[in-house]
């Protein structure tokens, strides 16, 4: 396998990578050394900003202004996200409150309808008992009696 010579490679300064040619013991061979500078955050360290300023006038100010604008934008987006989350939670709470009210209303209507049915069946049983139709009176009385018994023995955990 043939090894590529370092002589064909061109030294470059890209992305803060410095390539330096350093002679070895033998004058025919050379070695390349690369150094890389890495930083985190929106604003580079002052030394790098100064290097940018030497290359392009006003560049450092643009970088700092861009970082400040990006910071303001990020906080604005985060605030909008928090506000939207709060609004969604309030809407969900309002929906749940409405559901509870409607379920309560539905239960109350069911109880009133059951009460009216029991009263009517009892009145019908009394009427048929007075007129001598005991079989019909027993049938009419069985319906509210069964409903009341079921209400007492029904499983409340359903």
How does pLDDT run across 10-59, given as a tens digit for each residue? 333 334 445 455 555 555 566 778 877 777 888 888 888 888 888 989 99
Rounded to an integer, the average pLDDT of 103-122 is 91
How does pLDDT run across 61-106, given as a tens digit for each residue? 999 999 999 999 999 999 999 999 999 999 999 999 999 999 999 9
For 4-16, give one letter per residue: b (16+ CB within 10 A) or e.
eeeeeeeeeeeee
- Of the candidates 34, 32, 36, 35, the one whose C-alpha atom is nearest the C-alpha of residue 6 is 32
CB 78 within 8 A of CB 108: no
Helix (H), strand (E), coil (C) string for 81-103:
HHHHHHHHHHHHHHHHHHHHHHH
- Of the candidates 34, 66, 33, 32, the one whose C-alpha atom is nearest the C-alpha of residue 49 is 66
Rounded to an integer, the average pLDDT of 129-157 is 84
Between residues 5 and 157, the one the model is more confident about: 157
The token pair that represents 154 in the structure block: 């029904």
Rounded to an integer, the average pLDDT of 126-141 is 91
Write down the domain spans for the chain: 92-158
First to last CA, the chain: 79
Q: Residue 146 pLDDT more than 90?
A: no
Dmax over CA atoms of the chain, in Å, equals 133
CB 43 within 8 A of CB 50: no
């Amino acid at each position: 396998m043939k090894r590529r010579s370092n002589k064909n490679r061109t030294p470059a300064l890209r992305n803060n990578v410095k390539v330096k040619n350093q002679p070895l013991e033998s004058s025919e061979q050379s070695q390349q050394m690369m150094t890389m500078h890495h930083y985190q955050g929106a604003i580079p360290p002052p030394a790098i900003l100064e290097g940018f300023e030497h290359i392009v006038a006003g560049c450092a100010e643009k970088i700092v202004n861009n970082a400040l604008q990006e910071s303001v934008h990020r906080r604005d987006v985060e605030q909008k996200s928090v506000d939207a989350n709060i609004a969604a939670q309030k809407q969900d709470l309002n929906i749940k409150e409405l559901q509870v009210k409607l379920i309560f209303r539905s239960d109350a209507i069911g109880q009133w309808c059951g009460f009216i049915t029991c009263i009517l069946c009892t009145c019908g049983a009394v009427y048929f008992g007075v007129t001598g139709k005991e079989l019909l009176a027993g049938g009419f009385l069985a319906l509210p009696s069964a409903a009341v018994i079921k209400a007492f023995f029904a499983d409340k955990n359903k």
